[in-house]
């Protein structure tokens, strides 16, 4: 029997049009106006070839199931039963597919790192694989059974503070480097139509900024590499992108798994962290106190996690209680990566707020640090390898620059308490806990600063330091 042109309805057990997550969206209607490059061991002039590619256009409209027709003239015919791959040819696609002279096709994801977390952007990475049949009784093309090649993860984040007026920066950390987009990679389609040599550059942290379209909801999408099973723990944090104020941190999904070519939706309720005000700094806390109560000046803290030799930690090894919303040690290292400015409280354009210290005294002095939005490469997990930095004295000229208040945030020098509760450093020192314990779990790590420098260190969990959040 003569071979037949490929002009078949594409359908699957969970079709691309019908493959939606419970929140209304994955893969929905993204066949409309698609251009597909379909690679297969085609028949040419009656002979079976190595992997080849032809371009097909879809007639799908308004969410209808897609029908692809080959616009090319010539003697190409499809080969019933042979493995078939369909790749998007849209110019905005996240990968390129090319066929060499010997019929080997290479799929290269050149812009995987540019995923912006939205469904439309991730859909450009989608691809299909399957096989085409033929109805020998009628001589017409049979069912073309296709399945998704890439997997997709949808994080359905909810918080009453999410609104269309405030874009949300979502940061995702993974305990294993097999889900967070990296800098690209490639996979080879061999001449017999099998996929091999999947090579990708993957990271363990990623962030994107999304404007909520529904009040209280942010949906984040990520695509995974072909046939790559994903597992491990994910940590999710959110902040208001316009103000850099903190919304929530370290929501950990333990034992998360995503099979190849699978869509998974994961609802996550994001809890808001307490707002930091000028009164916040009148209270000092032991590292990750389980009762979340401030220490009393001149009295040694006695709450759990201060005296416990094996403190409770989450699956990422971070604080669970009073310090769970504090920056990680890696994040603190990034704040020391560039210039910081000491403000003595008397600089025109500098800090004007009077902060109350734990002993009742007041101070306007403190340090200005670059916000994470101004720190290229800022990461929740990748250590910057900077341990200390010299500070500059803030001047009126620096403070008057238009970018200063936009790019820098202020931490007051409200002092700290020793493990016995004695107070020190009002107006001179600032000590701010991290969510990271020290290497031996006997102490806690913190950011410290005075008028000449800033750095990080670790000491007894019974110290009294400030709580703060990623800025």
Q: Which of 184, 208, 194 is nearest to 149 (CA)?
A: 194
Backbone angles phi, psi at 374, to 5 degrees: -100, 0
The domain limits of the chain are: 10-269, 280-460
pLDDT tens across 80-129, in order?
777 777 776 554 455 565 655 555 566 665 555 566 777 766 766 667 77
Q: Which of 257, 261, 217 is nearest to 19 (CA)?
A: 261
Global pTM value: 0.57
pLDDT tens across 388-434, in order?
888 899 999 998 887 887 789 899 999 999 988 899 999 999 999 99
Q: For residue 355, what are the CA distances in angstroms to 282, 310, 351, 359, 413?
A: 7, 34, 10, 12, 9
Pairwise CA distance, residues 111 & 93, whole Å: 9
Backbone angles phi, psi at 407, to 5 degrees: -95, -15
Q: Which of 355, 279, 340, 328 is nearest to 469 (CA)?
A: 328
Cα first-last separation, the chain: 69
Tell me whether strands 140-148 and 127-135 are parallel, antiparallel or unpaired.
antiparallel
Dihedral angle computed from the Cα positions of residues 449, 455, 459 and 462, in that order, rounded to the nearest 10 degrees: 40
Sign of CA dihedral 422, 426, 429, 435: positive
Pairwise CA distance, residues 341 & 394, whole Å: 5
Q: Which residues pair with 135 in a beta bridge?
A: 140
Dihedral angle computed from the Cα positions of residues 255, 260, 265 and 267, in that order, rounded to the nearest 10 degrees: 20
Residues 295 and 285 sit within 8 Å (Cβ to Cβ): yes
Identify the segments of the chain with pLDDT beneath 70.
1-37, 52-78, 88-115, 120-121, 123-126, 132, 134-136, 138-148, 150, 175-187, 197-205, 224-232, 242-263, 272-280, 315
């Amino acid at each position: 029997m003569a071979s037949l042109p490929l002009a078949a309805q594409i359908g699957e057990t969970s079709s691309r049009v019908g493959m939606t997550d419970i929140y209304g969206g994955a893969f929905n209607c993204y066949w409309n106006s698609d251009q597909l490059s379909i690679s297969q061991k085609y028949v040419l002039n009656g002979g079976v070839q190595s992997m080849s590619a032809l371009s097909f256009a879809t007639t799908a409209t308004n969410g209808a199931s897609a029908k692809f027709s080959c616009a090319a003239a010539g003697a190409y015919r499809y080969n019933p039963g042979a493995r078939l791959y369909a790749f998007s040819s849209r110019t905005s696609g996240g990968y390129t597919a090319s066929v060499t002279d010997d019929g080997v096709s290479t799929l290269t994801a050149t812009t995987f790192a540019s995923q912006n977390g939205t469904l439309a952007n991730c859909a450009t990475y989608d691809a299909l694989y399957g096989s085409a049949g033929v109805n020998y009784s009628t001589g017409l093309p049979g069912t073309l059974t296709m399945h998704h090649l890439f997997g997709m993860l949808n994080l359905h984040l909810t918080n009453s503070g999410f609104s269309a007026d405030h874009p949300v920066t979502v940061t995702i950390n993974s305990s294993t480097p097999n889900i967070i987009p990296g800098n690209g990679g490639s996979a080879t389609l061999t001449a017999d139509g099998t996929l091999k040599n999947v090579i990708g550059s993957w990271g363990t942290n990623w962030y994107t900024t999304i404007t909520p379209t529904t009040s209280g909801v942010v949906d984040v999408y990520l695509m995974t590499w072909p046939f790559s099973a994903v597992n491990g723990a994910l940590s999710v944090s959110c902040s208001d992108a316009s103000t850099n104020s903190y919304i929530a941190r370290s929501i950990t999904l333990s034992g998360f798994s995503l099979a190849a070519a699978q869509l998974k939706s994961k609802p996550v309720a994001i809890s808001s962290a307490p707002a930091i005000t000028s009164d916040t700094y009148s209270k000092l806390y032991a590292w990750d106190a389980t009762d979340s109560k401030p220490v009393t000046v001149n009295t040694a803290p006695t709450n759990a996690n201060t005296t416990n030799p094996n403190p409770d930690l989450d699956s990422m090894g971070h604080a669970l209680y009073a310090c769970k919303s504090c920056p990680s040690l890696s994040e603190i290292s990034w704040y020391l990566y560039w210039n910081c400015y000491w403000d003595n409280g008397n600089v025109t354009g500098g800090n004007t707020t009077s902060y109350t210290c734990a002993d009742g005294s007041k101070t306007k002095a403190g340090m200005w640090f670059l916000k994470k939005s101004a720190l290229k490469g800022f990461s929740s997990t990748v250590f910057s390898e900077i341990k200390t930095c010299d500070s500059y004295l803030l001047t009126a000229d620096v403070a008057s620059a238009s970018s200063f208040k936009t790019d820098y945030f202020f931490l007051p020098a409200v002092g700290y308490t020793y493990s016995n509760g004695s107070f020190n450093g009002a107006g001179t020192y600032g000590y701010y806990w991290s969510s990271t314990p020290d290497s031996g779990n006997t102490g806690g790590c913190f950011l410290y600063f005075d008028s000449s420098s800033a750095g990080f260190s670790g000491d007894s969990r019974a110290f009294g330091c400030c709580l703060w959040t990623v800025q």
